[in-house]
């Protein structure tokens, strides 16, 4: 008996939709990319209930003819490529012809569309892949998509959606990724009748400011530009000046007009910043690459943002050199590295252009299997505060309380380069001064916080902090906890919060920074009440602890060490970093071998 049958289109489309349209944000991405491919210069986005009930995208692009309007919803129907080799020279965001078919399989779709040269437009209504209505209509030039009741026919998916706040954040993330690389396009973003963004055509720099700057308008001033043009690639962008780095980072790579994730190139940027940042500083960057369309492969997976480059190693070196050079203006370290700044050839040279003056690490092959671990550890590095629970302490030697503070002779200690050296019978104990202080303060703060009601100090001058829309959403979640620990805080405007009082342990000059740090820690993990106190205690401790380069007085040293050795857990900071190491006889002997 034959048992294989072709699935009906509606079923096949639903299955494909699971791949392409995972949540409202993926739907938004597909629609806006279509608008950009259609040459739109103005795109309006209207969202209701975080995209569950309505997701509308209106553009002034080239529109569709009556036949195309119907064809557009068929699977593998696309105007963007006609043959396999086009895949290797893509100039559009879309090319699979899957998005609209997938969307109409899982939602009610209404569309009006009209090319500029047509007298009338076309209206089409589709539900679950079935055309419900198609008629001639009068409408403006361009295309207007209304996606209603997303996943109405797939309850499991509907249930699978996160809270409105989370979905809205996902929508904003997608929106940022698109608008930052299309500053020439006008965008509005309306959520539940409130205009979150109204972006005029502007420069890249202004666009970044419009998204992340808020009212103060000083955001991009904290960045330094970088720019390089070589045979292989053009790179330009903005790197945060190290001294302005906080824990919150905006990190964006774009290539040929699309957002991408690229852990390997991220590593180049991190390397350029190395030694310029303290452990709780993360750099922000916006880097735009331009390469010939055939030098990248975007054909990986519809929802993936990774992109493969030819010549990745060379580009890594070019990126590293450019970033270092740009940042070098701000720090002694790299100025010294850069006595001989690299000279880049430009394609305009009539003589055969020389390779950029960079050293290529020929051993590095991003596609080698064994590098996967490296990629993963890289990802981990990007997630500060991953664990709030103290991981297992160091083996053997450093287990438990080996030293009683009273047994130690403070006079025999000395500090150098941010470490405290402590000769003991078992060897030289080396203590990281900043981390030791973080440990000590963390426990103090935690005690204070759990000691209800939290004590707060009123501020003489209330502090107003401004957040980005996505931070505001996080803030809603964090508000009750903040109040529990002594913040007197109210929302006073759309993305604005006013703080009248703070926990007494906090210094009034550090409010904004501390709150923003907490928001970013918060984002990493959902918390129970107890955890949120830990987050806040740790953020405060990291804020207040002595810097590495401070030379401690005898009293300070004594106080920190005494408290440190009285803690049960003193080998690691609450976020799992080593506080001390022991150089014993054996390890010293090894070093001298
Ligand atoms: P793809 O973008 O991969 O071609 P889609 O399913 O997203 O596939 O879209 C199918 C086709 O519908 C596109 O190739 C394009 O011709 C047309 N189309 C979709 N959205 C628009 C729009 N906003 N304006 C004009 N044409 C559009
Ligand atoms: Mg598309």
Task: For residue 413, give the CATH number of its domain.
Answer: 3.30.1370.100
Cβ neighbors of 352 (< 8 A, separation 6 or more) are: none
CB 99 within 8 A of CB 107: no
Q: Is the CB–ligand 1 distance for residue 210 below 6 Å?
A: no
CB 557 within 8 A of CB 422: no
Closest Cα partner for 17 from 156, 122, 176?
Answer: 156
CA atoms within 13 A on the CB side of 477: 21
Query: Beta strand pairing status for 456-466 and 427-432?
Result: unpaired
**Number of structural domains, the chain?**
3
Q: Which among 331, 355, 384 is the end of a domain?
A: 331
Which CATH number goes with the domain that contains 312? 3.30.230.10
CB 179 within 8 A of CB 44: no
Q: Is the CB–ligand 1 distance for residue 426 below 6 Å?
A: no
Take residue 534 and report the two structure tokens written for it: 């830990």
Domain-located, residue 344: no
Q: Which among 145, 170, 199 is the end of a domain?
A: 199
Residues 32 and 58 in one domain: yes
Q: Is the CB–ligand 1 distance for residue 72 below 6 Å?
A: yes
Domain-located, residue 350: no
Take residue 70 and report the two structure tokens written for it: 């119907």
Q: Is the CB–ligand 1 distance for residue 121 below 6 Å?
A: no
pLDDT value of residue 452? 58
Take residue 101 and report the two structure tokens written for it: 């078919």
| Cα→Cα distances 518→237, 246, 535, 540, Å | 28, 11, 7, 9
Domain-located, residue 122: yes
pTM: 0.69
| Cα→Cα distances 553→406, 415, 416, 435, Å | 19, 10, 12, 17
Q: Is the CB–ligand 1 distance for residue 503 below 6 Å?
A: no
Residues 444 and 560 in one domain: yes
Domain-located, residue 367: no
Q: Which among 177, 199, 221 is the end of a domain?
A: 199
Residues 185 and 296 in one domain: no
Closest Cα partner for 34 from 80, 90, 82?
Answer: 80
Residues 319, 266: Cα–Cα separation, whole Å: 10
- Which residue among 34, 124, 140 is best mutated to probe the pocket of ligand 1, counting the most ligand atoms within 8 A of its Cβ? 34
Residues 472 and 573 in one domain: yes
Residues 565 and 417 in one domain: yes
Residues 501 and 548 in one domain: yes
Which atom of ligand 1 is closest in space to residue 81's alpha carbon? 4
Domain-located, residue 430: yes
Give the burial class of 12: count Cβ atoms within 10 A of its Cβ; 0-12 exposed, 13-18 middle, 19 or more buried. middle
Q: Is the CB–ligand 1 distance for residue 97 below 6 Å?
A: yes
Query: Beta strand pairing status for 285-290 and 251-255?
Result: parallel
Q: Is the CB–ligand 1 distance for residue 78 below 6 Å?
A: yes
β-bridge partners, 186: 42
- Which residue among 78, 86, 258 is best mutated to probe the pocket of ligand 1, counting the most ligand atoms within 8 A of its Cβ? 78
Closest residue by Cα to atom 21, ligand 1, is 34
Domain-located, residue 352: no
- Phi first, then psi, for residue 36 (nearest 5°) are -65, -40
Residues 322 and 392 in one domain: no
What is the domain extent for residue 310? 205-331
Domain-located, residue 360: no
Residues 459 and 563 in one domain: yes
Closest ligand by atom to 101 CA: 1
Residues 129 and 224 in one domain: no
Cβ neighbors of 540 (< 8 A, separation 6 or more) are: 441, 445, 503, 505, 506, 514
Residues 186 and 295 in one domain: no
| Cα→Cα distances 23→74, 168, 262, 411, 578, Å | 21, 10, 23, 62, 40
Take residue 498 and report the two structure tokens written for it: 């006013």
Closest residue by Cα to atom 8, ligand 1, is 97
Residues 558 and 445 in one domain: yes
pLDDT value of residue 366? 34
User: Is omega for the bond preceding 453 within 30 degrees of 0, making it cis?
Assistant: yes
Domain-located, residue 337: no
Which CATH number goes with the domain that contains 106? 3.30.565.10
Residues 184 and 213 in one domain: no
Please provide the DSSP assignment of 209-265 as one string. Answer: HHHHTTTT--TGGGEEEEEEE-SS-EEEEEEE-GGG-BS---EEEEETTEEEB-HHH
Closest ligand by atom to 95 CA: 1
The alpha carbon of 89 and the centre of ligand 2 are apart by a number of angstroms equal to 16
- Each residue's pLDDT, cut to its tens digit, for the chain (593 residues) gives 787 887 777 777 777 666 778 899 999 999 999 999 999 999 999 999 999 999 999 999 999 999 999 999 998 888 888 887 777 788 888 888 889 999 999 999 999 999 999 999 999 999 988 999 999 999 999 999 999 999 998 887 887 787 888 899 899 999 999 999 999 999 999 999 999 999 999 999 999 999 998 777 789 999 999 999 998 999 999 999 998 888 778 999 999 999 999 989 999 999 999 888 887 788 999 999 999 998 888 776 666 688 889 889 999 999 999 999 999 876 544 333 334 444 443 343 434 434 444 433 334 333 333 233 332 233 333 333 333 333 333 333 344 445 555 666 777 788 888 898 888 777 888 999 999 999 988 888 777 666 656 677 888 888 999 998 888 988 887 888 788 778 899 999 888 999 998 877 677 777 888 888 788 777 765 444 456 677 777 877 887 788 877 888 888 888 888 888 888 778 888 888 889 888 888 888 888 88
Closest residue by Cα to atom 1, ligand 1, is 97
CA atoms within 13 A on the CB side of 208: 22
């Amino acid at each position: 008996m034959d048992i294989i049958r072709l699935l009906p289109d509606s079923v096949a489309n639903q299955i494909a939709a699971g791949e392409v349209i995972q949540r409202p944000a993926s739907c938004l991405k597909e629609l806006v990319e279509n608008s950009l491919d259609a040459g739109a210069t103005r795109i309006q986005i209207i969202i209701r209930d975080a995209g569950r009930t309505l997701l509308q995208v209106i553009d002034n692009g080239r529109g569709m003819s009556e036949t195309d309007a119907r064809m557009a919803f068929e699977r593998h129907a696309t105007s963007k490529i006609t043959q396999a080799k086009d895949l290797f020279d893509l100039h559009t965001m879309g090319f699979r012809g899957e998005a609209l078919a997938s969307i109409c399989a899982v939602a009610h779709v209404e569309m009006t569309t009209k090319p500029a040269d047509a007298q009338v437009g076309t209206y089409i209504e589709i539900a679950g892949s079935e055309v419900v209505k198609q008629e001639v209509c009068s409408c403006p030039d361009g295309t207007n998509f209304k996606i209603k009741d997303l996943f109405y026919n797939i309850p499991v998916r509907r249930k699978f959606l996160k809270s409105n706040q989370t979905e809205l954040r996902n929508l904003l993330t997608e929106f940022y990724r698109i608008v930052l690389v299309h500053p020439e396009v006008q965008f509005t973003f309306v959520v539940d009748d409130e205009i979150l963004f109204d972006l005029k055509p502007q420069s890249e720099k202004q666009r970044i400011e419009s998204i992340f700057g808020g009212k103060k308008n000083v955001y991009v001033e904290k960045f330094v530009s970088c720019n390089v043009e070589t045979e292989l690639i053009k790179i330009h962008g903005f790197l945060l000046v190290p001294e302005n780095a906080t824990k919150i980072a905006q990190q964006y790579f774009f290539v040929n007009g699309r957002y991408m994730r690229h852990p390997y190139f991220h590593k180049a940027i991190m390397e350029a910043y190395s030694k310029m940042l303290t452990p709780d500083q993360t750099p922000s960057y916006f880097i735009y690459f331009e390469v010939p369309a055939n030098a990248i492969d975007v054909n990986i997976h519809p929802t993936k943002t990774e992109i493969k480059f030819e010549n990745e190693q060379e580009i890594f070196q070019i990126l590293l050199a450019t970033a270092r050079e740009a940042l070098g203006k701000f720090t002694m370290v790299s100025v010294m590295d850069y006595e001989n700044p690299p000279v880049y050839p430009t394609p305009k040279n009539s003589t055969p252009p020389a390779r950029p003056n960079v050293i290529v690490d020929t051993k590095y092959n991003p596609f080698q299997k064994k590098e996967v671990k490296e990629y993963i550890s890289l990802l981990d590095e990007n997630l500060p505060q991953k664990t709030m629970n103290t991981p297992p302490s160091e083996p053997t030697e450093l287990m438990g309380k080996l030293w009683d503070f009273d047994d130690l002779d403070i006079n025999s200690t000395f500090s150098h380069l941010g470490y405290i050296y402590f000769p003991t019978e078992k060897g030289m104990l080396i203590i990281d001064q900043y981390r030791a202080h973080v440990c000590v303060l963390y426990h103090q703060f935690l005690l204070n916080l759990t000691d209800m009601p939290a004590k707060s100090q009123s501020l003489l001058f209330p502090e107003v902090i401004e957040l980005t829309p996505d931070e505001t959403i996080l803030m809603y979640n964090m508000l009750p906890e903040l109040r529990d620990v002594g913040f007197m805080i109210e929302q006073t405007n759309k993305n604005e919060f006013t703080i009248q009082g703070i926990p007494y342990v906090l210094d009034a000059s550090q409010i904004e920074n501390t709150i923003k740090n907490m928001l970013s820690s918060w984002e990493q993990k959902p918390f129970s009440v107890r955890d949120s106190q830990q987050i806040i205690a740790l953020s405060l401790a990291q804020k207040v602890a002595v810097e590495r380069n401070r030379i401690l007085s005898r009293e300070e040293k004594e106080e920190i060490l005494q408290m440190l050795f009285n803690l049960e857990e003193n080998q690691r900071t609450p976020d799992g970093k080593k506080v001390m190491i022991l150089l014993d006889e054996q390890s010293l002997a090894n070093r001298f071998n």
